[in-house]
Amino acid sequence: MSCYNFLYPITITEGGTFNQKFQWKSGNPLAPVDITGYTSKMQIRAKLTDATPLIAIPHALDDWVPDGDTGLYLNTPESGIYQMYINDADTLGLCAQHKDVIGIYNLFLYSPAGEAVFRQYGPATILAAAAI
């Protein structure tokens, strides 16, 4: 199976929560892709060539809850819906030089067979914020 690519920029506020849902659709006419049994990996890096990510967003095994753990949640997989959630504690200090960071992110969805079949990627802008 081919790997589908989806370019989408994201903006995160340092010290704030990032919470966004997406839906993977394919075909003609477009229909939700069932992602039951899929897993995920996601990283944000300041530069593509950086060896260490600013933050790694793990595949979430539990259901999403407000103010919960950072993760990529696949709570309604039959509808192709996945949710990127990064809690405020995990965004603190991402702008170490107190300047906005314009980096890059990659999110991969893996089929139950372990094959990378979907990639969402793009610029990840992290807006610097004063500590309160």
**Separation between Cα atoms, residue 88 and residue 18, nearest integer Å:** 8
Report pLDDT for 18.
Answer: 97
| Total Cβ atoms within 10 A of residue 106 | 16
Please report whether residue 106 resides in a domain. yes
User: Is residue 94 included in any domain, yes or no?
Assistant: yes
> Does 31 reside within a domain?
yes
Query: What pLDDT was estimated at residue 2?
Result: 82
User: Whole-model pTM?
Assistant: 0.91
132 within domain boundaries: no
pLDDT at 97: 85
Q: pLDDT value at position 44?
A: 97
17 in any annotated domain: yes
Q: CA 83, CA 94: separation in Å to the nearest integer?
A: 21
**Domain assignment of residue 45, yes or no:** yes
User: CA 97, CA 9: separation in Å to the nearest integer?
Assistant: 22
How many domains is the chain partitioned into structurally? 1
Domain that includes residue 96, residue range = 4-127
User: What was the pLDDT predicted at 1?
Assistant: 65
CATH number at residue 112: 2.60.40.10
Instruction: Answer yes or no: is 113 within a domain.
Output: yes
**CB under 8 Å to 126, separation ≥6 — which residues?**
11, 12, 13, 14, 44, 54, 91, 94, 95, 100, 101, 102, 103
On whether the CB atoms of residues 9 and 123 are closer than 8 A, the answer is: yes
- In this structure, is residue 37 part of a structural domain? yes
Question: Is the peptide bond preceding residue 77 cis, with omega within 30 degrees of 0?
Answer: no
Mean pLDDT by 10 residues, the chain (132 residues): 90 96 94 96 94 95 90 94 95 90 96 96 94 66
